[in-house]
């Protein structure tokens, strides 16, 4: 039987494991995609196994996905049954934090893994689970190359003025700086613009990655120059459960006046704030849009206000604006949010075509808009798969 070389990509979250399988006999071609959600609770498996196989969606016994190792074992059982002739030659991992040094994907070695563990305090709700995914994959595929792809890497060329905090200088050298996140998504969008709209790619672009995690990035000539996220994935825009930008004095107040511990404050900021905290209803924009109550509307108002405010700042950092690109679950699907963000922004060169927006067209600006407004579905998995294939090929070339 002929063995088909494949790349497995893993994106481990706090309670989820997203996966994709790619044929890498030529350019990466996606064969399957899915996720296990609610790991450690009542887990659920969802998977699309391509055109020839049925879509899978089912509840899992809790013991099958009590942790990420169990979730990966469940995923592998599914993929082995569906693609018996496939062999994972390389596993690519989304890793949220790469620190100040990593501007490119890297082969995971023991020293690299130790370094990623040291970065866990920089991304406390993400990094430990990314590492757990790597460890589970190493156990499952001891002969496969493991590749880490960093969400911070795309932003590592910022001018220092966009990277530094106004703290004593030694803190910058200790790694306390603005890193930016969602870099794999921004890398994909930048690459798509280069392919479909090279003139825009060469210009001044703001990309709004709007989902349960949300951020915006100013891109000049295909390179990130500014991001709304900073030292952690907590800063900037309000998100599903994360607060976004907040006066640091709030932390002092909660600790000193309310007697909260740092762990309690962290839990509030990361898991009880954002759209959920403001509305008291849900972190899901679809639920809030349909709720029709003042609390939900106020949460949406703040979300839109912060995006519009950050858009102005990023346009200033870029020296103007040639395009605004929406991606992410909210950015790709919420016509109402896109309309509320864009209406009245003709002063910055944006003029929304409501009919195009309502039909979810790729270009949703009018023909007279000085800056283009676009909707481009992001694809972090293909970015990981391409990097994994590239490093695998380099390893094979070096060995031959």
Assess whether 66 and 192 both reside in one domain.
Answer: no
> Is-contact 226 270, C-beta < 8 A?
no
Residue 2 confidence (pLDDT): 56
Q: Identify the helix (H) or strand (E) that includes residue 88.
A: strand 86-95
Domain-embedded: residue 385:
no
Domain-embedded: residue 97:
yes
Assess whether 277 and 364 both reside in one domain.
Answer: yes
Number of structural domains the chain divides into: 2
For the question of residue 235 being annotated catalytic, the response is: no
Mean pLDDT of all residues in 289-309: 98
Domain boundary among 122, 150, 178: 150
Assess whether 118 and 208 both reside in one domain.
Answer: no
CB atoms within 10 A of CB 356: 17
Q: Which residues pair with 146 in a beta bridge?
A: 91
Assess whether 132 and 198 both reside in one domain.
Answer: no
Interior/surface letters 92-123, b for 16+ CB within 10 angstroms, e for the rest: bbbbbbbbbebeebbebeeebeebbeebbebb
Assess whether 107 and 18 both reside in one domain.
Answer: yes
Q: Identify the helix (H) or strand (E) that includes residue 94.
A: strand 86-95
pLDDT digits (tens, 9 = 90+) for 186-237: 999 999 999 999 999 999 999 999 999 999 999 999 999 999 999 999 999 9
Residue 12 confidence class, pLDDT cut points 50, 70, 90: confident
Residue 378 confidence (pLDDT): 96
Q: Does residue 52 sit in helix, strand or coil?
A: coil
First to last CA, the chain: 24
Q: Which residues pair with 95 in a beta bridge?
A: 150
Assess whether 239 and 353 both reside in one domain.
Answer: yes
Half-sphere exposure of 82 (CA within 13 A, CB side): 20
Residue 38 confidence (pLDDT): 87
Domain-embedded: residue 174:
no
User: 281: which residues sit within 8 A by CB, 6+ positions away?
Assistant: 287, 288, 291, 293, 295, 296, 299
pLDDT digits (tens, 9 = 90+) for 85-135: 888 999 999 999 999 989 999 999 999 999 999 999 999 888 998 998 899
Tell me the C-alpha distance between 122 and 95, whole Å: 12
Domain-embedded: residue 155:
no
Catalytic hit among 151, 163, 235, 322: 151
The mean of the pLDDT values for the chain is 94
Domain-embedded: residue 395:
no
pLDDT digits (tens, 9 = 90+) for 348-382: 999 999 999 999 999 999 999 999 999 999 999 99
Domain-embedded: residue 400:
no
CATH code of 42's domain = 3.30.420.40
Domain-embedded: residue 258:
yes
CA-CA-CA-CA dihedral for 252, 255, 261, 267, to nearest 10: -60
Q: What is the pTM of this model?
A: 0.94
> Is-contact 238 306, C-beta < 8 A?
yes
Residue 1 confidence class, pLDDT cut points 50, 70, 90: very low
Assess whether 135 and 192 both reside in one domain.
Answer: no
Tell me the angle at which helices 127-140 and 68-82 cross, rounded to the nearest 10 degrees.
Answer: 50
Q: Which of 83, 84, 81, 62 is nearest to 71 (CA)?
A: 62
Assess whether 111 and 249 both reside in one domain.
Answer: no
Assess whether 112 and 244 both reside in one domain.
Answer: no
Residue 222's domain comprises: 187-375
Residue 16 confidence class, pLDDT cut points 50, 70, 90: confident
Token pair in block for residue 259: 């007697």
Token pair in block for residue 348: 């910055």
Q: Does residue 201 sit in helix, strand or coil?
A: helix
Tell me the C-alpha distance between 147 and 5, whole Å: 16
Assess whether 35 and 119 both reside in one domain.
Answer: yes
Assess whether 134 and 221 both reside in one domain.
Answer: no
Residue 13 confidence (pLDDT): 78
Domain-embedded: residue 384:
no
Assess whether 136 and 226 both reside in one domain.
Answer: no
């Amino acid at each position: 039987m002929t063995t088909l070389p494949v790349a497995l990509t893993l994106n481990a979250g706090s309670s989820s494991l997203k996966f994709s399988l790619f044929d890498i006999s030529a350019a990466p071609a996606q064969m399957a995609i899915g996720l296990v959600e609610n790991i450690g609770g009542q887990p659920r498996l969802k998977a699309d196994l391509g055109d020839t196989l049925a879509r899978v969606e089912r509840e899992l016994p809790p013991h099958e996905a009590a942790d990420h190792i169990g979730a990966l074992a469940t995923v592998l059982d599914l993929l082995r049954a569906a693609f018996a002739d496939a062999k994972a030659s390389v596993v690519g991992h989304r890793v949220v934090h790469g620190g100040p040094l990593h501007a490119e994907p890297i082969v995971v070695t023991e020293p690299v893994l130790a370094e990623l563990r040291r970065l866990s305090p920089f991304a406390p709700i993400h990094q430990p689970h990314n590492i757990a995914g790597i460890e589970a994959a190493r156990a499952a595929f001891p002969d496969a190359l493991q590749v880490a792809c960093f969400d911070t890497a795309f932003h590592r060329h910022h001018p220092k003025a966009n990277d530094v905090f106004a703290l004593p200088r030694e803190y910058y050298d200790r790694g306390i700086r603005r890193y930016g996140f969602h870099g794999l998504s921004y890398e994909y969008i930048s690459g798509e613009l280069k392919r479909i709209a090279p003139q825009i790619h060469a210009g001044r672009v703001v990309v709004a990655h709007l989902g349960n995690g949300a951020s915006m990035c100013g891109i000049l000539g295909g390179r990130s120059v500014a991001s709304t996220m900073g030292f952690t994935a907590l800063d900037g825009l309000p998100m599903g459960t994360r607060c976004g930008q907040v006066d640091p004095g709030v932390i002092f107040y909660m600790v000193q006046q309310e007697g909260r511990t740092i762990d309690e404050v962290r839990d509030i900021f990361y898991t009880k704030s954002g759209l959920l905290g403001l509305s008291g209803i849900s972190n899901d924009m679809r639920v809030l849009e349909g709720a029709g109550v003042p609390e939900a509307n106020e949460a949406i108002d703040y979300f839109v206000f912060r995006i519009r405010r950050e858009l102005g700042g990023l346009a200033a950092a870029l020296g103007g604006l040639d395009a605004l690109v929406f991606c992410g679950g909210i950015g790709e699907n919420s016509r109402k949010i896109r309309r509320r963000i864009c209406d009245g922004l003709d002063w910055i060169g944006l003029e929304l075509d409501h009919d195009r927006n309502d039909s979810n067209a790729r270009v949703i600006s009018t023909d007279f808009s000085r800056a283009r407004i676009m909707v481009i579905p992001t694809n972090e998995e293909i970015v990981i798969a391409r990097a994994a294939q590239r490093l695998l090929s380099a390893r094979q070339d070096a060995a031959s």
